[in-house]
């Protein structure tokens, strides 16, 4: 299956760009990034439920979020500050995943109107170093493994 999301991570650089076109008007796409209840919905997956602990959608505002697995164990915790908040155009924020040793990233998220019903999202992520960026790129391998383990545990738990 073809993935709609494109990632551009050039060799030896300390940044990466994630792009995706949506079959949605730009206003709605922006809304998905500014309303905590909506963010919680799309950031959740079958193995972890996302919760926004704090979300001040404005310049100088900050946010805090966490995800818990079905046993209530916190599996992901992140925070950051908004530096720019231009409705339907751009969000500039810092992002720090807690206890991940990936440092703090600068995220420049741009919202672009393509047609009345389609839009494009571009997230430019800048890391403290190329090494940290590459470590981040390797993480889904580890997470995928851990998810598989969780699921196995879940299934085995039912058999007990």
Give the footprint of other proteins on this chain (CB under 8 A): 3-7, 9, 11-12, 18, 20, 22-24, 28-29, 31-32, 38, 41-45, 121, 130, 134, 136-141, 143-144
Output the smallest distance, CB 60 to other proteins, in A: 26
Count of alpha carbons within 13 angstroms of residue 5, beta-carbon side: 7
Q: Which is nearer to other proteins, 41 or 71 (CB)?
A: 41
Output the smallest distance, CB 87 to other proteins, in A: 16
Output the smallest distance, CB 159 to other proteins, in A: 28
Beta-carbon contacts of 55 under 8 Å, excluding residues fewer than 6 positions away, are: 36, 39, 61, 63, 64, 65
**How far, in Å, CA of 139 to CA of 101, rounded?**
11
**How far, in Å, CA of 115 to CA of 4, rounded?**
18
Output the smallest distance, CB 13 to other proteins, in A: 9
Beta-carbon contacts of 124 under 8 Å, excluding residues fewer than 6 positions away, are: 15, 16, 17, 107, 108, 109, 110
């Amino acid at each position: 299956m073809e993935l709609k999301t494109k990632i551009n991570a050039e060799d030896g650089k300390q940044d990466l760009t994630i792009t995706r076109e949506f079959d949605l008007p730009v206003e709605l796409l922006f809304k998905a990034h500014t309303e905590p209840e909506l963010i919680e919905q799309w950031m959740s997956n079958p193995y972890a439920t996302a919760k926004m602990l704090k979300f001040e959608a404005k310049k100088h505002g900050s946010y805090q979020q966490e995800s818990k697995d079905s046993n209530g164990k916190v599996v992901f915790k992140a925070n950051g500050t908004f530096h720019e908040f231009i409705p339907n155009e751009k969000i500039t924020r810092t992002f720090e995943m807690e206890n991940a040793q990936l440092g703090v990233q600068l995220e420049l998220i741009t919202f672009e109107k393509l047609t009345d019903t389609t839009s494009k999202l571009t997230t430019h992520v800048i890391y403290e170093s190329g090494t940290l960026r590459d470590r981040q790129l390797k993480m889904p391998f580890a997470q995928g493994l851990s998810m598989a383990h969780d699921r196995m545990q879940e299934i085995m738990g039912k058999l007990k």
